Amino acid sequence: MDEEEFSFIGILSSDVRQALARLDESNTPSDRRNALRTIISAAEGLAWVFRNHVVSIARTVDDLAPLVEMAFAETAVFVSEQGKIVPQARHLSMTALVRLTINVAQSMVPAIGVDFGVPGWNDLKLSIKIRNRVTHPKIGKDLLVSGHDIEIAKSGFVWLAGMVADVMEHTNRILSDHAALGRELIEELRKGDPDALALLQRVHDERDD
């Protein structure tokens, strides 16, 4: 995670803390709606940082399939009868983005384990639905947010933050190992090691193909 992403997460966390602090002072329906929207917005920002982190490492270690790249780009390609390539946007929900990112992380580090049977994951999904209802109300009761709804949103956010921290810790090790391997390979190349030279040639040939 670079300094900009770290600062971004700090801002999101601060927004959540301030929204919850306002609830302690003035627990009005408007305050509850604002708190819910703030929590889910922070979760979306955190999910995006998580996505960028894992994708960046997967690209670095050359472990990101073209199909997965396309999924992350949220773009599909349609070819017209005139042979023209037409890109089509495909929205990826936050929960789908999180699952896809975890799958990519697990492809690099099979030991990563994420339990989706815990309340936190279900609370995250439910709080997103509540936020969507509040953001796009059809009738008056769609605007209602209870104290219990806020607790659900907090639970989902805490689960997401903990999971992201755990997975990123694992993937950071992969990046460190990859960098160490690269330094070792460079040193062997400098020595003229035949195996290192053969590996370099093989990688070069594969990229040419």
Whether pTM > 0.85 for this model: the answer is no
Residue 52 identity: N
- Phi and psi at 81, nearest 5°, equal -65, -20
3-class SS string, the chain: CCHHHHHHHHHHHHHHHHHHHHHHHCCCHHHHHHHHHHHHHHHHHHHHHHHHHHHHHHHHCCCCCHHHHHHHHCEEEEECCCCCEEEEECCCCHHHHHHHHHHHHHHHCCCCCCCCCCHHHHHHHHHHHHHHHHHCCCCHHHHCCCHHHHHHHHHHHHHHHHHHHHHHHHHHHHHHHHHHHHHHHHHHHHHCCHHHHHHHHHHHHHHHC
Residue 108 identity: M
Cβ neighbours of residue 70 closer than 8 Å, sequence gap 6 or more: 76, 77
- How far from the centroid of its chain's Cα atoms is residue 91's Cα? 15
User: What are the residues facing 75 on neighbouring strands?
Assistant: 89
Closest CA relative to residue 92, chosen from 33, 129, 48, 126: 48
Where in the chain are the domains? 3-208
**Tens digits of pLDDT across the chain (209 residues):** 667 877 888 888 889 989 999 999 999 999 999 999 999 999 999 999 999 989 988 888 777 888 888 888 887 878 888 888 888 888 889 999 999 999 999 999 999 999 999 999 999 999 999 999 999 999 999 999 999 999 999 999 999 999 998 898 888 887 665 544 445 544 544 555 555 445 445 544 554 45
